[in-house]
């Protein structure tokens, strides 16, 4: 997003204006629910909720109120809908005070939360809500019950997890909050399972079961492997992680898509923009293309949303305040405008321009060769057969079976995931298999093909009305 055309700038400013203004509909986001046997989260007004998350794990712990204001406002402008943050933070969260000198617990006892610390959490959650943002609250990072590589200490038992869960659930009852248990840990013992289930039970007792709940496992792991049939788990979350470029996150997405009972699923922690690949700077850092590829792959495999992440943002890296974790290299105030953060907002805009909750993954739309590599193409079809999306990560030609669409007259266009601009291909009759050659081919030149029923009011997203049909 270095060199923007006039048209792109206009689109960008329009996007900012659209996303930044909370509306009456956005207030419905505090009333999220899931219709049984559906794969999407639903808003209080009955419309699908697009989960576009950001991992801001250290938000409550490391930022002042003024800094939190800046961060939340920018993420709202970029189109995010969910901010994932941790109450008992990962990095010395029990022993290093927040920016106001407060620790979260008295005597490291989960049954004795410090109200002064949580007043700051209150502020951030309320500020987020005023901007139309839901906060995905992790009651604790996982090292507080399973230390492993973390700082700890381990302070939770099933008994005090139940008490803490009920307390925090009651405190944020009625707020724009979704609960995310786990905190980068997968349960490895009966005690771990008991702690998580007790905390979930406590939260439900505190909030009356009125807020959604999920589980954030460790890298390359999936909540469905541990808790899929638990009633408290409203939707699944997997972490595809940071270990490799072109990590096939769609594999876990597809696995969850086939499970019973049916539950929404999303990638809650994919490869972070500006994170060293496999924690090895010599292998390079993940870039915006890596972030986009993960998002489009996950969504076209049936995602109910997606979480973006930036390596500098989750830790709120500031060299004047804290040491870099895992070779962070960019001040968080600069990293907040990394290209990928804007580009996942473009994805949301395209999806919400269509009845996206009706999309069904359908690889049979793709004809010809489709190697399972960095350029792996994916496609999905609306259940009424009135539109399709197809993604090509490296710009390879798409060969599409248009007979899968029911409409006789079609409009096709390229949606550029890098700048959010649509470019019309043409209007044509539905006459079988057709090849679509992308405008540009290169390792990071990804494109999304959109083919719409030309008679639909929403057809031709981003195209001038006078050339849509």
Residue-wise pLDDT for 335-356, tens only, equals 999 999 999 999 999 999 999 9
Radius of gyration from C-alpha coordinates of the chain: 22
Percentage with pLDDT > 90 across the chain: 92
Question: Three-class SS string for 382-425?
Answer: ECCCCEEEEEECCCCCEEEEHHHCCCCEEEEEEECCCCCCEEEE
CA neighbor of 293 nearest in space, from 399, 388, 373: 373
pLDDT value for 175: 97
- What's the angle, vertex CA 330, arms to CA 14 and CA 15, rounded to 5? 5
Q: Tell me the pLDDT tens digit for each residue of 242-272.
A: 999 999 999 999 999 999 999 999 999 999 9
Q: What is the pLDDT averaged over residues 130-148?
A: 98
What long-range pairs does 317-326 form, CB within 8 A, spacing at least 24?
Answer: 321/62, 322/62, 322/91, 325/91, 326/275, 326/276, 326/279
* Boundaries of every domain in the chain: 6-352, 358-468
| Encoded tokens for 262 | 């049916």
User: Is it the case that residue 114 has pLDDT exceeding 70?
Assistant: yes
Query: Average pLDDT, stretch 419-437?
Result: 97
CATH 3.30.230.70: does it fit domain 6-352?
Answer: no
Block residue for tokens 């049909």: 469
Q: Residue 397 CB: number of other CB atoms within 10 A?
A: 12
Q: Where are the alpha helices (DSSP H) in 133-257?
A: 158-171, 190-207, 224-227, 250-257
DSSP state of 166: H
Tell me, yes or no, if the pTM score tops 0.85: yes
Q: Is 283 helix (H, G, I), strand (E, B) or coil?
A: helix
Evaluate if residue 25 carries a pLDDT over 70: no
pLDDT of 469 > 50? The answer is no
274 DSSP β-pair partners: none
Nearest Cα to 343, choosing from 280, 279, 397, 295?
295
Percent of the chain surpassing pLDDT 70: 93
pLDDT per position as a tens digit, 276-312? 999 999 999 999 999 999 999 999 999 999 999 999 9
What is the CATH topology of the domain spanning 358-468? Immunoglobulin-like (2.60.40)
pLDDT digits (tens, 9 = 90+) for 161-194: 999 999 999 999 999 999 999 999 999 999 999 9
Average pLDDT score, the chain: 94
> With bands split at pLDDT 50, 70 and 90, how would you rate the model's confidence at 7?
very low
Q: Tell me the pLDDT band of 29, cut-offs 50, 70 and 90.
A: low
If you average pLDDT over residues 404-412, what whole number do you get?
97
Instruction: Write down the pLDDT at residue 465.
Output: 78
Alpha-carbon distance of 86 to 215, in angstroms, equals 13
Instruction: Give dist(CA 51, CA 195) in Å, integer.
Output: 27
Query: So what's the pLDDT on residue 286?
Result: 98
Contact 314, 58 (CB under 8 A): yes
Q: Is the pLDDT of residue 134 over 50?
A: yes
């Amino acid at each position: 997003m270095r060199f923007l055309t006039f048209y792109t700038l206009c689109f960008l400013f329009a996007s900012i204006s659209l996303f930044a203004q909370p509306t009456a509909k956005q207030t419905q986001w505090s009333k999220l629910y899931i219709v049984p046997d559906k794969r999407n989260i639903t808003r209080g007004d009955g419309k699908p909720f697009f989960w576009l998350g950001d991992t801001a794990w250290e938000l409550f712990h490391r930022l002042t109120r003024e800094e939190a204001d800046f961060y939340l406002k920018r993420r709202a402008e970029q189109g995010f809908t969910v901010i994932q943050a941790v109450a008992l933070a990962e990095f010395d969260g029990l022993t290093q005070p927040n920016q106001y000198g407060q620790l979260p617990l008295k005597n490291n006892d989960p049954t004795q939360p410090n109200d002064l610390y949580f007043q700051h959490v209150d502020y951030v959650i309320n500020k987020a809500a005023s901007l139309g943002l839901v906060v995905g609250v992790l009651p604790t990072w996982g090292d507080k019950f399973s230390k492993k590589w973390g700082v700890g200490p381990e302070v939770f038992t099933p008994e005090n997890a139940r008490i803490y869960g009920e307390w925090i659930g009651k405190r944020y009852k009625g707020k724009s909050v979704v609960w995310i248990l786990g905190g980068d840990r997968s349960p490895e013992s009966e005690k771990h399972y008991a702690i998580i289930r007790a905390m979930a039970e406590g939260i439900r007792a505190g909030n009356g079961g009125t807020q959604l709940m999920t589980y954030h496992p460790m890298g390359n792991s999936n909540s469905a492997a541990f808790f899929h049939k638990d009633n408290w788990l409203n939707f699944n979350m997997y972490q595809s992680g940071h270990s490799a470029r072109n990590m096939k996150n769609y594999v876990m997405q597809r696995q969850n898509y086939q499970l019973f009972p049916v539950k929404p699923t999303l990638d809650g922690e994919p490869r972070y923009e500006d994170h060293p690949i496999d924690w090895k700077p010599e292998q390079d850092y993940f870039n915006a293309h890596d972030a986009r590829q993960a998002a489009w792959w996950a969504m076209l495999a049936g995602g109910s949303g997606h979480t973006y992440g930036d390596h500098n943002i989750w830790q709120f890296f500031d060299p004047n305040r804290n040491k870099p974790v895992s070779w962070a290299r960019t001040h968080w105030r600069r990293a907040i405008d990394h290209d990928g953060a804007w580009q996942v907002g473009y994805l949301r805009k395209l999806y919400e321009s269509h009845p996206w909750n009706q999309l069904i993954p359908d690889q049979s739309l793709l004809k010809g060769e489709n190697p399972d590599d960095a350029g792996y193409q994916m496609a999905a079809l609306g259940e009424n057969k009135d539109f399709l999306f197809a993604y090509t990560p490296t710009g390879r030609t798409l060969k599409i079976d248009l007979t899968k669409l029911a409409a006789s007259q079609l409009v096709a266009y390229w949606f550029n995931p890098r700048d959010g601009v649509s470019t019309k291909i043409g209007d044509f009759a539905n006459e079988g298999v057709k090849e679509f050659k992308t405008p540009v081919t290169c390792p990071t030149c990804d494109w999304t093909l959109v083919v719409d029923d030309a008679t639909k009011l929403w057809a031709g997203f981003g195209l001038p009305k006078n050339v849509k049909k």
